[in-house]
Structure 1
Amino acid sequence: MSISVAFVDDHPILLEGLVSLYSGKSDLNIVAKGENAVDALKIVEEHSPHVLVLDLSMPGDTVAAIEVIAQKYQGTRIIVFTANSSIETAIQVLNQGVAGYVLKGSSASDLHQAIRTVYDGDTFITAGFATKVIMAMKTAELRRRKQAQQRLSLREEQIVRHLMRGSTNREIARCLDISEKTVKHYMTLLMQKLDVRNRLEVVLAAQRLDVLPDGTVDRGRIN
């Protein structure tokens, strides 16, 4: 079975070159071509190609078109074929559902491989550039996980609020109607979660997270 492919690019010579080059591939069937974001949407609606190869820098809102296609026409896999080597842009469109990101300047065999790869359900990113994108995505994910881990529960917030007033463990336990042992347990959790060493650092770290109301800390009572 041949893979149906459509190309969309606003550079006529490049577009004709792509169509001519890949029309000669026995495993590909070029079903349509276009020049802008609107064309991309129309092509997917009318031809439902297995793979849509499109540039990012075209007339119209290409990123919005990608988002619509990825959400509504999941039978079409999208390859961005672009000169844009911005890691942030690559991550953005990959998160929106793009299956391939191929830099212009890649070889004809690279784009052919990308078409076959995304058709098979995998992701393809230009070699070399892929390493940078993957590392950036991993770094962003680790940052998100760390931020999620640092979010305070309701009980933890209550305890930190009392710490800000200079309350002792016994006073916190009495106010929250829990045992001192439970307060100590929460203090241990807070220090681990916020990666700090003592009660004062718990308060300062929690304030940096911006999860507490404005207030002053009575440092003389925190020890």
Structure 2
Amino acid sequence: MTLRVILADDHPIFRDGLVASIEETGEFEVVGVGETAEDAIRLAKEMQPDVALLDLSMPGGGIQAARAIRAAGTAAQVAMLTVSEDDSDVMAALNAGVTGYVLKGVSAEELRRVLKRIAKGEAHITPSLAAQVLKLMQAAKVAEPNPIDTLSKREEDILRRVAKGMSNREIAEGLSLQEKTVKHYMTEILSKLHARNRVEAAIIAHEAWRDQD
């Protein structure tokens, strides 16, 4: 199945090269291209893509576009493609509901791999940013017992699979559960970890269990 992508970036040369790179293998179709937040919001509404891939610093702001698209539900997933490694930008993107935060230095092959995972709803954040994001998340919370220790065995089993990039469907199949049951467990896991989304939950899991892997 060909995955449908919209792309918004205000640098024409980079944007044109990105379209060619994404479509190179025939696994993706770029169904809309724009250069502003307004373009991205309009294209998402018109095309209902699998992934909206947004530049952080385009006119109108990638964060604002992501927030509007997520609120409207006009793209299945939203990802940020940016040069920014600034902590506040990463956190703002996560708070806006993006599924992926990818740096522009990534290779075309790796970007396609990441986009395929994001299209499945699997969280992705560039590994070099994960540790600093976790520190920010922890600094913003009141000192308390490690919330990961409050997970049940079943919740831990599910979180370990989330941390490996597995989708709810894959987790359900692996644990012989219904997908809606996995979604229910994920709600509980996010609540216990005080995580806003799967990206944060996966980061917490990676850091907590790093020495065990």
Is TM > 0.5 for Structure 1 vs Structure 2?
Answer: yes
Question: Gaps (5+ residues) in structure 2?
Answer: 146-213
**Contact (CA 8 Å) 1:101, 1:126: kept in 2 or not?**
yes
Aligned to 2:84, the other structure's residue is in SS state coil
Q: Tell me the CA shift for residue 137 of structure 1.
A: 1.9
Aligned to 1:79, the other structure's residue is in SS state strand
Question: Gaps (5+ residues) in structure 1?
Answer: 147-223
Q: Tell me the CA shift for residue 38 of structure 1.
A: 0.8
Counterpart of 1:49? Answer: 49
Q: What are the residue-to-residue correspondences of 1:118-197 with 2, within 5 Å?
A: 118-140=118-140, 142-143=141-142
1:103 and 2:103 correspond: yes
Q: Tell me the CA shift for residue 9 of structure 1.
A: 0.5
Identity %: 34
How many residue pairs end up in the alignment?
Answer: 145
TM-score (norm 2): 0.63
Aligned to 1:143, the other structure's residue is in SS state coil
- What amino acid is aligned across from residue 97 of structure 1 in structure 2? G
Which of the two has higher C-alpha Rg? 1
How many angstroms apart in 2 are the aligned matches of 1:6 and 1:131? 30
Q: Tell me the CA shift for residue 143 of structure 1.
A: 2.9
How many angstroms apart in 2 are the aligned matches of 1:75 and 1:35? 17
Counterpart of 1:21? Answer: 21
TM-score (norm 1): 0.60
Mark the CA change 1:73 to 1:144 in structure 2 (over 3 Å): closer, same or farther: farther
Instruction: List per-residue Cα deviations over 1:11-70 (Å, max 9, x = no partner).
Output: 000000011111112221211111111110111011011001110111124322211111
Higher relative contact order, structure no. (Cα contacts within 8 Å, ≥ 6 residues apart): 2
Aligned to 1:4, the other structure's residue is in SS state strand
RMSD: 1.9
Aligned to 1:121, the other structure's residue is in SS state coil
Counterpart of 1:113? Answer: 113
